[in-house]
Amino acid sequence: MFRIITFLILLFTAFWGHSQNVQLSPLSKISLLTVGTGEDLAAKFGHSAIRLQDPTLGIDEVYGYGNYDFDDPNFYLNFTRGKLSYTISRIPFKYFEYSYQQEKRWIREQELDVNLEQRNNIITFLEHNLLPENKKYKYDFLFDNCATRIPMVFEKTLGNTFKFDYNHLEEQLTFRELIRLKLNPNSWSNFGIDLALASVIDREATPYEHLFLPIYVYEQMKHTTLDGKPIVKKESVILDIAEQEYRSLIFLTPLFWLSILLVLVCYITYTDYKNLRRNKWLDFGLFAVTGLAGILILFLWFGTDHLATKANFNSLWAFAPNIVIAFMMIKKQIPAWMITYIIFLTILLGITCILWMFKIQVFSILLIIVLLALAIRYLYLIYYFKSKHLTKK
């Protein structure tokens, strides 16, 4: 919280800086700053920004996209629904550097070989974006973030002679594969992202679409030309900090808790099988959790503007109607159609595996544990209800 408050104070101070009509001196420089990953989920993918230096005018400032204001009305609701407005900011470089030094994240700089007129065009464009009527925009994690805005700025200000060469890419990855590059598979953040993000991110990203990650913008600039010449004039390391490895204690990982769930389901189901009985509270818990997860998935699919949450086939195993069935499971009398319903749920588990097999949607590897636990319980419930039904006859 202290870091956020400090940043907002510095941001406010920065707005008393130079006018958008300033003309840069011949000694001015424009460079791309790339920041390494951090501990928080929002920092896992790095950051990109543009630095302006002009010793003649006493300017050393950083322009960055992808900022948001906690004071925005309905902040959390708008954030969840994908309707939150993000902004561009301008802050003194010394504060930019200090903040990432505190977070132990490296900073690399690429000075651009652009002439004075081109430098003025870039800064005029950024200053125009900083105007109150222009500074807000609708953020999209994959297609309009702090990294994607960097090539957009250069494309709009440097003209047709600004060209990317994608031949350095050894392979093209899907959006999900790109997202997973910086995430630990056995983390709640990775598990949650795989639960929330849908099949639309399992298509192969175009070379240009790879630029939603700052590290790809950094690498791409090394293979970009302006007027037929490399645009990167010089590279340097501002903060040489090794990327941190953030490891969670084993009992705080999803693998640990999901494994406990599987063991619990297997043990209770085995004892139920031996005694031909049914643990109502286990069934209530499984149906309630999968139902609530299904409601969340459907909300992200149909109730938000997030493009990456559309067509999410996690909704097959996390089946929203289960929330209603959960309360029926704690009753003594179960309707006869429940057998058909649970057979249907078991078929949905199979369809989930088929979609996974053909990579129509790639799920978290940890989902295998969940699917196995549900399959064991569903198959037992089919057996149990059929046995009770035959006994009554």
pLDDT digits (tens, 9 = 90+) for 62-120: 999 988 765 666 665 666 677 677 889 999 999 999 999 999 999 999 999 999 999 99
According to DSSP, residue 140 is labeled: B
pLDDT in tens, 359-385: 999 999 999 999 999 999 999 999 999
Q: If you average pLDDT over every residue of the chain, what do you get?
A: 90
How many Å apart are CA 8 and CA 1, to the nearest integer? 11
Tokens of 220: 């791409």
How many Å apart are CA 143 and CA 305, to the nearest integer? 13
For residue 101, what are the contacts with CB-CB under 8 A and spacing of at least 6?
A: 239, 241
Give residue 249's pLDDT: 81
Which of the four pLDDT bands, split at 50, 70 and 90, describes residue 21?
low
The amino acid at 64: G
For residue 327, what are the contacts with CB-CB under 8 A and spacing of at least 6?
A: 284
H/E segment holding residue 109: strand 107-112
Question: Hey, where are the domains in the chain?
Answer: 2-169+207-239, 250-392
If you write DSSP's letter for every residue of 368-383 in order, what string do you get? HHHHHHHHHHHHHHHH
Give residue 308's pLDDT: 92
In the predicted model, is pLDDT for residue 293 greater than 70?
A: yes
In the predicted model, is pLDDT for residue 221 greater than 70?
A: yes
According to DSSP, residue 38 is labeled: -
For residue 366, what are the contacts with CB-CB under 8 A and spacing of at least 6?
A: 185, 186, 191, 254, 255, 258
pTM of the model: 0.87
In the predicted model, is pLDDT for residue 391 greater than 60?
A: no
Q: What angle do CA 385, 388, 389 make, to 5 degrees?
A: 85
CA dihedral in degrees (161, 167, 169, 175; nearest 10)? 60
Question: What is the tally of helices (H) and strands (E) in the chain?
Answer: 13, 10
